[in-house]
Amino acid sequence: MAAERVLTFNPASPFAMQSPLSANLTKNHFELFDIPITFDIDNEQLTARYRTLQRMFHPDRFAHTTPQEQRLSMQYSAQLNDAYQVLKKPLNRAEYLLTLYDVSNEGHTVTDGEFLMEQFELREQLMAIRKHDDGADQLVPFSTQIQQRLTTLMQQFSEQMRAKNLERAQLTLNRMQFVTRLLDEIEALEEELC
């Protein structure tokens, strides 16, 4: 094992002064692509703008320029990638949107007893499918059913956000997270059975 390197916090380090792109680094993900701050984004518009900006500012466009410009383009391009990943996926977008409204993500789950019970039952169903001989066949309609459940929740979330009912939206987001996790488990089982 090579010796451990020691780093020291140095307020006078040249890196400490890095203030590039100050205007852009403080932008939120929606502003970065200049699209409205809403859950109901236009996916095609988002993708088109992401691609246009990457085409112009990707580090490959700066490979022959000064080290500073190369660093700036790397930072900006990384920021575009990160923001695009978050906005592209509905669940991530919903989570991110609520952080912009400063809504805490904690303390809501335990009160949602009815929903938890339903989730518990769905999970039991999944266990039963796993044990069943023709589980792979049963999994398909089950997966479709849960997928529809997620779609419904996303519609609810969208309506609640439009009505600026953040508390309800937070609750719906928690449900979306649960259902998404269930879908991940279904997918894992799909692999197992195939």
Of 144, 15, 165, nearest to 75 by C-alpha is 15
Tell me which stretch binds another protein (CB under 8 A): 76-84, 110-118, 123-131, 157-165.
76-84
Angle (CA) 178-181-186 rounded to 5° is 125
Element (H, E) at 67: helix 67-88
The SS3 assignment for 19 reads: coil
To the nearest whole angstrom, how small is the minimum distance from the Cβ of residue 18 to another protein?
8
To the nearest whole angstrom, how small is the minimum distance from the Cβ of residue 39 to another protein?
22
To the nearest whole angstrom, how small is the minimum distance from the Cβ of residue 49 to another protein?
6
193 binds another protein (CB under 8 A): no
Measured in whole angstroms, the distance separating CA 163 from the mean position of its chain's CA atoms is: 22
To the nearest whole angstrom, how small is the minimum distance from the Cβ of residue 43 to another protein?
12
Measured in whole angstroms, the distance separating CA 33 from the mean position of its chain's CA atoms is: 16
Binding site residues, another protein, CB under 8 A: 1-2, 4-11, 13-24, 34, 44-45, 47-49, 51-60, 63-69, 72-79, 81-82, 84-85, 191
